[in-house]
Amino acid sequence: MSMAALAHEGITVSKLHPHVGAEIIGVDLRHPLDEMSFEIIREAWNQHTVLVLRDQRIDDEQQVEFASRFGTLEETTFTVAADNPYIYKLSNVDDEGNVLPVGSKKRLFLDVNARWHTDSSFRPIPALGSILSARKVPAKEHGDTAFASMRVGWETLPDERKRALEGLVAVHDYSYSVGLFGDKLIPKSEMDSVPPVRHPLVRTHPPTGLGSLFVSGHIERIDGMPVEEGRALVAELIEWCTRPEYVYRHRWRQHDLVMWDNRCALHRATAIPATEPRLMHRATIAGEGPVA
């Protein structure tokens, strides 16, 4: 994409962090994007892994319309469904609008997001990306979301280490990651629909051809390794990718739209607000094929 095109469209892309994240200015997602604007965003996303678009006062329909341009969307499951079948509702309030008390079962479900992970890595075809729209942001309890790049994590590993990791296969299991926070948080029928899956620990990020670690809080073990050893390896690699100087921490504002590439981004919620209501709507773009 040439600079002339960027200037012509009135869209600017500025880095938020040296390793991950950029802000897009000059886009209003309430109106359909022309092809050139869309391509600028897609290109910036491929390059920067996480994009922040401030002040996007969109509804579910507009969010779904934007997200659909990147690919097919995952349909929501019963537990987190909003009114729109393609929107996941991430919220700390119950159906009556009261903030869920600390320690309540529904809150535990949200805690799954506090571990570093990549969305839907427990599916046979993991998600391509997630697009989160901040509908209600607390004034005091910020509940930042932190991001790190698994491409940078891979790139900065010593060559010898890279060779040792290539060819390893990880077992991702949603019942394992959710199970860490308590039994029966999610109905059995829902769990049965996502049996454990295997993905390579090192993958290629298709748009750039760059290597990327594919580690996630959903990994239950590494094939061919004692369970504890495999988990220790995954924990070590996640820690490597998320060294403090490699993490972009996003402080939410009302109407922020933040999108991340699940093929090469790790993310986690730093805290779920304890007293103030928070509401996020997520559209999830399904992957295009098995992990390569």
Positions in the binding site for Fe ion (CB under 5 A): 119
- Give least dist CB 260 to Fe ion, A: 9
Q: Considering the complex, state which of residue 13 and residue 260 has its C-beta at the smaller distance from Fe ion.
A: 260
Q: How many CA atoms lie within 13 A of 136 on its CB side?
A: 13
CA–CA dist 157, 43 (Å, integer): 26
CA distances from 1 to 7, 17, 34, 36, 37 (A): 11, 21, 15, 9, 11
- Contact (Cβ atoms closer than 8 angstroms) between residue 21 and residue 50: yes
Q: Considering the complex, state which of residue 146 and residue 157 has its C-beta at the smaller distance from Fe ion.
A: 146
Phi/psi for 218 (5° steps) reads: -85, -5
- Give least dist CB 163 to Fe ion, A: 31
267 is catalytic: yes
- In sequence order, the 6+-apart residues with CB closer than 8 A to the CB of 88 are 76, 80, 81, 82, 281, 282, 283, 284
Give the β-pairing of 88-91 and 279-285: antiparallel
- Contact (Cβ atoms closer than 8 angstroms) between residue 292 and residue 169: no
- In sequence order, the 6+-apart residues with CB closer than 8 A to the CB of 275 are 99, 141
Q: What residues form DSSP beta bridges with 52?
A: 23, 258
- Which of 119, 173, 256, 261 is an active site residue? 119
Q: Considering the complex, state which of residue 129 and residue 138 has its C-beta at the smaller distance from Fe ion.
A: 129
DSSP H helices, the chain, are: 3-9, 35-48, 60-68, 105-111, 150-155, 159-165, 174-179, 188-192, 227-241
- Give least dist CB 155 to Fe ion, A: 23
221 is catalytic: no
Q: Considering the complex, state which of residue 56 and residue 120 has its C-beta at the smaller distance from Fe ion.
A: 120
Q: How many CA atoms lie within 13 A of 255 on its CB side?
A: 10
- Give least dist CB 261 to Fe ion, A: 13
Q: Considering the complex, state which of residue 11 and residue 142 has its C-beta at the smaller distance from Fe ion.
A: 142
17 is catalytic: no
CA–CA dist 138, 34 (Å, integer): 33
Q: Considering the complex, state which of residue 119 and residue 220 has its C-beta at the smaller distance from Fe ion.
A: 119
218 is catalytic: no
DSSP H helices, 25-113, are: 35-48, 60-68, 105-111
Select from 111, 137, 150 the least CA-distant residue to 268: 111
- Which of 151, 199, 203, 267 is an active site residue? 267
- Which of 19, 48, 117, 263 is an active site residue? 117
**Residues designated as active site:** 117, 119, 267, 282
